[in-house]
Amino acid sequence: MVGMNSIKKFLKWIFGLLLINFAGLILITLYSAYYSFGTIIFGVHTEAAIKDFWNTEFITAVPFIIGVNLLAISTALFRMYKNKKKKTLS
């Protein structure tokens, strides 16, 4: 049942990665909303605030998703390589 164990590990890893992505996107959305819609108090039109919100959301969310996922994938690949190398040396 080695295959079943590795599938469970992989699914657990994917679920954790999705959870990190979701939490990061929530925080980015809150940040974008605070700084974009907060300016309405000072007389910025709603249309400009919405445009600013989506621009800020896109500019911050895309690099976050790409960076976090690349880091997670590269770390997982490095660990797999390291474990395989350790097994062959043993």
Global pTM value? 0.81
Per-residue pLDDT of the chain (90 residues; tens, 9 = 90+): 557 888 898 899 999 999 999 999 999 999 999 988 888 888 888 898 899 999 999 999 999 999 999 999 999 999 888 888 878 876
pLDDT at residue number 2: 59
d(CA 83, CA 89): 10
pLDDT at residue number 53: 93
